[in-house]
Amino acid sequence: MAKCYRSELVGAFGCPIDENPTGVMEEAAFAAKGLDYRYLTIKVEKGDLEDAMKAVRAFHMKGINITIPHKVAVLNYLDELSEAAGIIGAVNMVVNRDGKLYGENTDGKGYLKSLTDAGVSPAGKCITVLGAGGAARAISVECALAGVKKIYIANIEREQGEELTAMLKEKTGVEAEFLMWDHTLDVPDDTEILSNATSVGLYPHTDQKPNINYDTIRPDMVVTDVIFNDPNSLFLREAGARGAKTINGLGMLVNQGALNFTMWTGVEAPVDVMTDTLKREFDLK
């Protein structure tokens, strides 16, 4: 058989994109599995998404990650959507299935996997989500689809928080309540999982933490953070000091990358290799 000199292509479209480390993690995974795939980190500016999505088909790319500012706009250029991506209203990865583009959102699924990897099942539990942005939407929708009993959405801006709360009730049928977060927030008493889905604490602002009353965190709560750099965030350190079980954002990041890897290649992802690669990239032990 003739030798094939063509690599399969995947990658990411976004702007800004230069500091996105996903390619290093995915390339390490391809190498570990002996797959001839290349991950291209591509700058696509706001008005250029339509052309870029045409290129996915024209280049026979296997798929593409979608990041800021295209996660919502990309819906215009897809043939099919997963249930969760449709409810969330945003896509972070696309699979090219013989020229048909399928959109999925793996952020919330990566979050759920990081919970189950830590032995935590969200079904039947009450979760309080801090924030109402993209990560909060993905987390709360996947938790609702996974059968949580109740979701509190706390947000500093009323309109966005109320919109997410209403959407959760309407589209997933979960019990949901909005908490106006214009003061130091007491974590609701019935909370079993507390999830920081805000950007507070992200490097270089590692001395910052969400404005909550940390003494309302109980030892029987599970406390999670989307922040992956530094994974040992001040928020999680405060929660850990109150005896709570903590889960950092690295697991969510690796697990969504692992899901993307498998959806593109059909091969099980080498999660350990991906985790080690990211830790090295962030200079973590």
Query: Residues 197-226: x/- map of binding to ligand NDP (CB under 6 A)?
Result: -xxx-x-------x---------------x
Q: Which is nearer to ligand NDP, 130 or 273 (CB)?
A: 130
State which H helix or E strand residue 94 sits in. Answer: strand 93-97
Determine, following the binding rule CB under 6 A, whether residue 252 of this chain makes contact with ligand NDP.
yes
CB 39 within 8 A of CB 67: no
Strands 193-196 and 175-180: unpaired
Q: How far is the CB of 200 from ligand NDP (least distance, A)?
A: 5
Q: How far is the CB of 184 from ligand NDP (least distance, A)?
A: 11
CB 120 within 8 A of CB 133: no
Q: Residue 5: CB partners within 8 Å, gap ≥ 6?
A: none
Determine, following the binding rule CB under 6 A, whether residue 227 of this chain makes contact with ligand NDP.
yes
Distance CA 70, CA 74 (A): 6
Q: Which is nearer to ligand NDP, 32 or 156 (CB)?
A: 156
Q: Name the closest residue to ligand NDP (Cβ).
A: 133
Is residue 222 annotated as involved in ligand binding? no
For ligand NDP, which stretch binds (CB under 6 A), given 34-42, 121-129, 185-193, 252-260?
Answer: 252-260
Q: How far is the CB of 5 from ligand NDP (least distance, A)?
A: 35
Q: Is 210 helix (H, G, I), strand (E, B) or coil?
A: coil
For 81, half-sphere exposure in the C-beta direction (CA atoms, 13 angstrom radius) is 18
Q: Which is nearer to ligand NDP, 9 or 278 (CB)?
A: 278
Active-site hit among 3, 43, 71, 125: 71
Q: Which of residues 100-119 bind ligand NDP (CB under 6 A)?
A: 107, 110
Closest CA to 44 of 29, 56, 61: 56
Find the Cα–Cα–Cα–Cα dihedral 254, 24, 231, 72, rounded to 10°: -60
Determine, following the binding rule CB under 6 A, whether residue 132 of this chain makes contact with ligand NDP.
yes
For ligand NDP, which stretch binds (CB under 6 A), given 48-56, 119-127, 150-158, 276-284?
Answer: 150-158
Q: How far is the CB of 2 from ligand NDP (least distance, A)?
A: 41
Q: Is 234 helix (H, G, I), strand (E, B) or coil?
A: helix
Rg (CA), the chain: 19
Task: Give ∠ CA 43-82-31 in degrees, rounded to 5.
Answer: 50
Determine, following the binding rule CB under 6 A, whether residue 156 of this chain makes contact with ligand NDP.
yes
Distance CA 149, CA 131 (A): 19
Q: Residue 107: CB partners within 8 Å, gap ≥ 6?
A: 92, 134, 135, 138, 139, 252, 256
Q: Which of residues 61-100 bind ligand NDP (CB under 6 A)?
A: none
Q: How far is the CB of 1 from ligand NDP (least distance, A)?
A: 40
Task: State residue 192 phi and psi, 5-degree precision.
Answer: -110, -30
Is 71 known to be catalytic?
yes
As annotated, the binding site for NADP(+) includes: 83, 131-135, 226, 249
As annotated, the binding site for shikimate includes: 67, 92, 107, 256
User: Which residues contact ligand NDP by CB under 6 A?
Assistant: 107, 110, 131-136, 155-157, 160, 198-200, 202, 210, 226-228, 249, 252-253, 256
Residues belonging to the active site: 71
